[in-house]
């Protein structure tokens, strides 16, 4: 009865090769590997690079103030720790469009333009308008991947979703009422299991999921820097709390998806 069982088929043993012939695949592979590398770098070791701007319980959010041509593109890196869910579950709810509008407060509509593979989708999203800026849309691929435990790296295996904007000549930007924004987002999750005593069955109480969320959003056209910074300072913490609470809530009565 698990909704996830009918999900996107990214289970451990179903490595899909359907996308390897797709023209976007080399780029998807390259950006995903680069984003995983970047997400794994610790905030603490990069002294002076990251500035903490929000903290609540286990959740910490850092940014770097950056502008190009007067546009704010401040990179964000957030760390969170949640109990009772696996990284696979967190990634599934982030990736699968059927849940998107239940946790995504910045989106007006989300459309899957192409299923590149079971674990790779092409999206066109229309976001809510931020006054006084024009409304934004985003055209991006989204790829979900399991990275098995590597003996050379510490920590358990990784589940990741990487979202990255693409240009598609048939879908030109800025032709309607929306200005196209450009995003690179990576949600990386690691699951830790407290081994239960006397070989008892693992329950949700034994699960801890470490989440790293990295994002760079280029607004694609000028918008007032002070407004953008005020909006993301409010919206990123709201997103990560709301999204993780949503996943915990959805998972609690379902079998664990490791």
User: Is the Cβ of residue 223 or residue 256 nearer to ligand 16C in the bound state?
Assistant: 223
Q: SS3 of 97, please? A: helix
Alpha-carbon separation of residue 14 from 17, 72, 169, 176 (angstroms)? 9, 40, 32, 40
**Range 2-41, binding ligand 16C (CB under 6 A):** none
**Does 136 help bind ligand 16C (rule: CB under 6 A)?**
yes
**Does 106 help bind ligand 16C (rule: CB under 6 A)?**
yes
What radius of gyration, in Å, describes the C-alpha atoms of the chain? 18
Q: How far is the CB of 7 from ligand 16C (least distance, A)?
A: 17
Sign of CA dihedral 10, 144, 154, 80: negative
**Does 112 help bind ligand 16C (rule: CB under 6 A)?**
no
Q: Which residues of 103-127 are buried (b: 16+ CB within 10 A; e: fewer)?
A: bbeeeeeeeeeeebbbbbbbbbbbb
Which two structure tokens, joined as six digits, stand for 96?
Answer: 């699968």
Q: How far is the CB of 119 from ligand 16C (least distance, A)?
A: 16
**Does 236 help bind ligand 16C (rule: CB under 6 A)?**
yes
Q: How far is the CB of 152 from ligand 16C (least distance, A)?
A: 29
**Range 213-232, binding ligand 16C (CB under 6 A):** 217, 219, 223, 228, 231-232
Region of 13-21, 30-38, 51-59, 127-135 interacting with ligand 16C (CB under 6 A): 127-135
CB 160 within 8 A of CB 140: no
Q: How far is the CB of 208 from ligand 16C (least distance, A)?
A: 22
Among 89, 92, 104, 119, binds ligand 16C (CB under 6 A): 104
Size, binding site for ligand 16C by CB under 6 A = 24
Which two structure tokens, joined as six digits, stand for 55?
Answer: 């903290």
Q: Which residues pair with 98 in a beta bridge?
A: none
User: Is the Cβ of residue 134 or residue 192 nearer to ligand 16C in the bound state?
Assistant: 134
Cα gap 28→63, rounded to integer Å: 25
Ramachandran quadrant class, 123 (left: phi over 0; alpha: psi -120 to 50; beta: rest): beta
Q: How far is the CB of 239 from ligand 16C (least distance, A)?
A: 4
Q: At what angle do helices 87-95 and 225-251 cross, to 10 degrees?
A: 120
Site string for ligand 16C, 138-157 (x = CB under 6 A): x-------------------
**Does 137 help bind ligand 16C (rule: CB under 6 A)?**
no
**Range 176-195, binding ligand 16C (CB under 6 A):** 181, 183, 185
Cα gap 35→39, rounded to integer Å: 6
Applying CB under 6 A, the residues found at the interface with ligand 16C are 104-107, 125, 127-128, 130, 133, 136, 138, 163, 181, 183, 185, 217, 219, 223, 228, 231-232, 235-236, 239
């Amino acid at each position: 009865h698990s909704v996830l069982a009918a999900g996107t088929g990214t289970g451990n043993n179903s490595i899909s090769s359907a996308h390897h012939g797709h023209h976007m695949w080399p780029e998807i592979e390259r950006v995903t590997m680069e984003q995983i590398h970047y997400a794994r770098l610790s905030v603490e070791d990069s002294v002076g690079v990251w500035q903490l701007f929000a903290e609540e319980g286990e959740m910490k959010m850092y940014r770097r103030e950056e502008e190009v041509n007067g546009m704010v593109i401040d990179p964000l890196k957030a760390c969170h720790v949640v109990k009772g869910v696996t990284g696979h579950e967190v990634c599934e709810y982030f990736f699968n469009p059927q849940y998107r509008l239940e946790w995504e407060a910045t989106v007006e509509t989300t459309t899957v333009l192409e299923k590149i593979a079971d674990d790779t989708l092409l999206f066109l999203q229309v976001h809510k308008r931020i006054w006084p800026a024009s409304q934004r849309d985003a055209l991006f691929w989204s790829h979900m991947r399991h990275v098995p435990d590597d003996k050379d790296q510490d920590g358990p295996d990784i589940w990741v979703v990487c979202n990255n904007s693409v240009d598609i000549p048939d879908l030109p930007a800025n032709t309607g009422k929306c200005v196209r924004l450009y995003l690179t987002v990576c949600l990386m999750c690691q699951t830790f299991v407290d081994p239960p005593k006397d070989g008892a069955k693992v329950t949700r109480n034994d699960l801890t999921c470490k989440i790293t969320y990295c994002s760079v959003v280029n607004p694609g056209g000028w918008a007032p820097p002070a407004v953008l910074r005020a909006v993301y300072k409010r919206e990123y913490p709201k997103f990560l709390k709301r999204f993780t609470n949503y996943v915990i809530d959805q998972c609690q009565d379902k079998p664990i998806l490791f």
